[in-house]
């Protein structure tokens, strides 16, 4: 049995008095690609921010295993947090060059001599020719690839991806999915992928969770989730008959 990386227990998250997420129990296992599916506003991004330890839940606990001990938002040290990296749906890049953006995470870790690593990751995301370009000259797809590159260069133990291909053309979607697949296969990185695309989850996930209206409806290995869903709402969501 795989080692558990995250344990989410009795979690509720509220914003302005409104409960946006309720998860009685969820585990993320070492080396898996867990895809979190659900319609817009289901609480997928909220779950990802909790897993990134960027915010604490209003109730319950999100625990992350560092390899040595369990930590939470309140107890995690900087080095613990640095095992986790997140790519946001709308990446905000620094108003500098592509290379400077990709180098950022390494520099905050005090790794000054990381030119070779930055160059290698830029080649992986096919942005090596744009290394010196200012980010304002990039297309949406290129900007998203910079966001992915600045996460991949850190070689994180856990990679959290919040709809990394939303609003991108098929070529960019294909490229980003290939990068995610390679990262998982080559480094065994634990990946939590938030998406609203059933097809993307099918292509990438080893396990799938469905969130609807802040509630965790079903979690299952990908083949079972898609071929033999246990919950009627999952069935409706997969068949496109889900009514908001």
Residues that bind other proteins (CB under 8 A): 49, 52, 54, 78, 81-82, 84-86, 88, 90-92, 94-96, 100, 104-105, 107-109, 150-151, 154, 160
Query: Between residues 23 and 86, which has the closer beta carbon with respect to other proteins?
Result: 86
* DSSP codes of every residue in 168-223: --HHHHHHHHHHHHHHHHHH--EEEEEES-HHHHHHH-SEEEEEETTEEEEEEEHH
Work out how close the CB of 86 gets to other proteins at its nearest, in angstroms, rounded to a whole number: 4
Q: How far is the CB of 46 from other proteins (least distance, A)?
A: 12
Torsion 108-109-112-115 (CA) sign:
negative
Return d(Cα 196, Cα 24) in angstroms, integer. 22
Distance of closest approach, residue 82 Cβ to other proteins, in angstroms: 4
Identity of the residue, 107 or 129, whose beta carbon is nearer to other proteins in the bound complex: 107
Residue 100 vs 194, nearer CB to other proteins: 100
* Cβ closest to other proteins, residue 101 vs residue 234: 101
Length of the chain: 244
- Output DSSP code: residue 21: E
The C-alpha atoms of residue 127 and residue 147 are separated, in whole angstroms, by 11
Residue with smaller CB distance to other proteins, 18 or 112: 112
Smallest separation, CB 237 to other proteins (Å): 28
To the nearest whole angstrom, how small is the minimum distance from the Cβ of residue 70 to other proteins?
20
Burial level of 203, CB count in 10 A (0-12/13-18/19+)? middle
Min separation Cβ 222 and other proteins, Å: 26
Q: Please state, in angstroms and rounded to a whole number, the distance separating the CA atoms of residues 101 and 92.
A: 10
Instruction: Tell me how far, at minimum, the Cβ of 64 lies from other proteins, in Å.
Output: 14
**Category of 43 on φ-ψ map: left (φ > 0), alpha (ψ -120 to 50) or beta:** left
Residue 25 vs 96, nearer CB to other proteins: 96
Q: Is the dihedral of CA 212, 37, 231, 25 positive or negative?
A: negative
Q: How far is Cα of residue 57 from the mean position of the Cα atoms in its chain?
A: 18
**Cβ closest to other proteins, residue 94 vs residue 232:** 94
């Amino acid at each position: 049995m795989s080692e558990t990386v995250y344990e989410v227990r009795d979690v509720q998250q509220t914003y302005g008095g409104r409960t946006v997420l309720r998860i009685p129990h969820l585990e993320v296992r070492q080396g898996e690609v867990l895809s979190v599916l659900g319609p817009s506003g289901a609480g997928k991004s909220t779950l990802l921010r909790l897993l990134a330890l960027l915010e604490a839940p209003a109730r319950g606990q999100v625990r992350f295993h560092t390899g040595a001990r369990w930590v939470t938002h309140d107890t995690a040290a900087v080095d613990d947090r640095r095992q986790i990296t997140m790519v946001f749906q709308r990446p905000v890049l620094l108003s500098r060059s592509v290379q400077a953006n990709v180098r950022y995470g390494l520099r905050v870790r005090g790794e000054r001599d990381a030119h070779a690593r930055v160059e290698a990751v830029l080649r992986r995301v096919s942005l090596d020719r744009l290394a010196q370009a200012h980010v304002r000259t990039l297309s949406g797809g290129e900007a998203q690839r910079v966001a992915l590159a600045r996460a991949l260069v850190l070689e994180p133990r856990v990679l959290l991806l919040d709809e990394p291909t939303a609003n991108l053309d098929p070529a960019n979607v294909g490229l980003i999915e290939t990068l995610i697949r390679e990262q998982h296969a080559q480094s065994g990185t634990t990946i939590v992928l938030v998406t609203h695309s059933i097809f993307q989850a099918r292509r990438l996930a080893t396990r799938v969770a469905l969130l609807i209206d802040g509630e965790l409806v079903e979690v299952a290995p990908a083949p079972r989730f898609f071929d033999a869903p246990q919950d009627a709402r999952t069935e409706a969501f997969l068949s496109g008959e889900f009514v908001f």
